[in-house]
Structure 1
Amino acid sequence: VGVSPNPIVPKSVEGLELGRKNTIAVNENMQSSIPTLFAGGDIVRGGATVILAMGDGRKAADSMDKYLQGI
């Protein structure tokens, strides 16, 4: 939680694919290159609006739920 991406996080996770500006690369389900790691908001988009971050959070939560249910 913050107002800008934390540069330490993406660089500290081995095997994590990064996007532009060293943000975490995710698919349409907000899932990263590590199947159990979902991300959204500034760490994915770079600095953006809170509305976009909230939408990412909702989408990531839904995707995590489906992932855990095996859907």
Structure 2
Amino acid sequence: TEKEMPARIEEVHHARQEGIEFHLLAGPKRVIGDENSHVIAVECLRYRLGEPDGSGRRRPIPIEGSEFRIDVDTVIIAIGNAANPLIRQTTPGLEFNRWGNIVVDEDCKTSLEGVYAGGDIVLGAATVI
């Protein structure tokens, strides 16, 4: 739910203003490709929140038969604070700097037409603990 989202309220607000669509309590199940091995969609699964565990966190529980599809032409895996090492191998023409971050211009455009990047993959990890 939006209450459990690990994001600041203003980040969510700004994302919505920019046209970002949130699919809450959902996650990717598989990436779907066409006969030429080009990505065309992501199949997702809906979840419900279970009872709180020992830490107080309500764990997501898959809802059987709740699969849905989102048509896409690009999938970028962005979990954690470091770039996925496979990006360089699987994305020819994408430019990186010497620290392994994706190079973008002032509009967040990468060296590939129609591909934009932002956040830690561009700036580097900035989490302070």
Fold conserved between structures, TM > 0.5: yes
Report the equivalent of 2:119. Answer: 41
1:23–1:30 CA distance, 2 compared to 1 (3 A): same
Percent identical pairs in the alignment equals 41
Segments ≥4 residues shifted beyond 3 Å: none
Query: Which TM-score applies when normalising by structure 1?
Result: 0.57
CA RMSD in angstroms, aligned pairs only: 1.6
Aligned length: 49
Closer/same/farther in 2, CA of residues 11 and 47 from structure 1, 3 Å limit: farther
TM-score normalised to structure 2 length = 0.34
Q: Is 1:10–1:22's contact at 8 Å kept on the other side of the alignment?
A: no
- Report the Cα distance in structure 2 between the residues aligned to 1:24 and 1:48, rounded to whole angstroms: 15
Which runs of 5 or more residues in structure 2 are unaligned? 1-78
Larger radius of gyration: 2
Structural mapping, 1:56-71, within 5 Å = none
Higher relative contact order (CA 8 A, sep 6+): 1
Q: 1:9 aligns with which of 66, 78, 87?
A: 87
Q: CA deviation at 1:36?
A: 0.7
Task: Note the C-alpha offset of 1:7.
Answer: 2.4
Point out where structure 1 has 5 or more consecutive residues left out of the alignment: 50-71
Which letter maps to 2:103?
A: A
- Match of residue 110 from structure 2: 32
DSSP-derived class of the 1:22 partner: coil
Give the conservation status (yes or no) of the 8 Å contact 1:6–1:43: no
